[in-house]
Amino acid sequence: MREADGMTYRQYLAAVGVALFSPVSRLLPDAVLRRAGFSGWLAPLAAAPLLLGLTAVHRRLLRLRGEARSLGEALEARLGPVPGKAASALLCLWILFYGGIILRSGGERILATVYPTGRLWVFAGGILVLGAVFALGELRWAGRSAMMTFLFFAAALLAVFAMALPGIHGSAVWPPDPGRSGDILLAAVPVADVLSPWFCFSFLRGRITEEGNGLPRALRGMLGMLLLVLLFLIATIGALGPELALRQQYPFYVMIKNLRIFGGKERFDALTVAIWMTTDYVCVGILLLSASEGLRSLVSARRRQPFVPVCAGGMLLAAVVSARSAFSFARLSETAVPAVNLSVAFLLLPLISCLPGKNLKK
């Protein structure tokens, strides 16, 4: 019998939406501009079939005997108990490492933009503690918290896009360069990368208390994320221009820093920091929730909470050992991390989803 504690599907989607904006604002638009120049803003459209297909495959993987299961259960059912547990353990380790990347990038970007003389571990530690508080409580609390955070996040982003609109140079994005249609397809890869860590949250899937409309709802969630990425790219590339955006470490921050309302009010930098901190802490929180739930089911423990401090320690360790400097960290997060995320999301999990789920315990 399922435990009563859980979050609704709507809350789950809200949490995932906020959390995924963390890698979006870190890796884009740089990655699409490198591949397709100013026409890179079309990359979300090119990535749409890929990501919608992934959503459907992912759902098929987690759906066993007409019921949604956690990723751990699905892996055990399809691979067998021992290989399934081993795969779960590896994925949990990856989630912790990925959480470490999010922690470190959260600290790094605040240092690079607002507090250049501050200490990295103060900010990374702050995000980790907030995430741990998020993960230590009941899931239904985390769900409500995610919903409220999502509303704040959506309002803040809407305000940013509205303020950025007058400063967008149409010629910087329109018309797209027809000679680079192949490059636009290539630029879909980084978009798929930033949205592919969706699978990292899937250990929670068995604790979603309300199913809703299932697949259409998941597809709508993914479409919403793609639309968000599209607006994000148009705003940053259109406001700064492709060359300048490419040269900035955090174009989103620079765009907001340069916003003026009615030619007077300026310096909305704090808004960016608020958006960043929110997305980082929700991302770390939900990764902690997912990893601790994965570990719990791995050892068949009753409670998830005791695993949260262990996972938090693992994330901190990953953040410390992942790179020596901001430069090597940037290289890591632009090469190895996307490679693993894409391989797991687009190769490993779809292959496993083709296997029959015969080992499921009743």
- Which residues bind to other proteins, rule: CB under 8 A? 112-119, 122-123, 125-127, 129-130, 132-133, 136-137, 171, 174-180, 240-244, 247-248, 254, 257-258, 260, 266-267, 277
Cα 289 to Cα 318: distance, rounded to the nearest angstrom: 17
Residue 248 zone, left/alpha/beta (φ > 0; ψ -120 to 50; rest)? beta
State the minimum distance, in angstroms, from the CB of residue 36 to other proteins. 12
User: Is the CB of 228 or the CB of 286 nearer to other proteins?
Assistant: 286
State the minimum distance, in angstroms, from the CB of residue 326 to other proteins. 13
Residues 6+ apart with CB under 8 A from 88: 71, 72, 75, 76, 203, 294, 297, 298
- Tally Cβ neighbours within 10 Å of residue 218: 21
State the minimum distance, in angstroms, from the CB of residue 265 to other proteins. 12
Within the chain, residue ranges assigned H as helices are 9-27, 30-36, 43-62, 71-79, 81-113, 120-136, 139-164, 181-195, 215-240, 242-247, 251-257, 269-298, 307-321, 326-334, 336-343, 349-353
State the minimum distance, in angstroms, from the CB of residue 139 to other proteins. 15
State the minimum distance, in angstroms, from the CB of residue 13 to other proteins. 25
User: Is the CB of 198 or the CB of 307 nearer to other proteins?
Assistant: 307
Placement of tokens 């990038």 in the chain? 105
User: Is the CB of 54 or the CB of 233 nearer to other proteins?
Assistant: 233
Placement of tokens 């249609």 in the chain? 181
User: Which tokens hold the place of 350?
Assistant: 């779809």
User: Is the CB of 5 or the CB of 223 nearer to other proteins?
Assistant: 5
User: Is the CB of 199 or the CB of 276 nearer to other proteins?
Assistant: 276
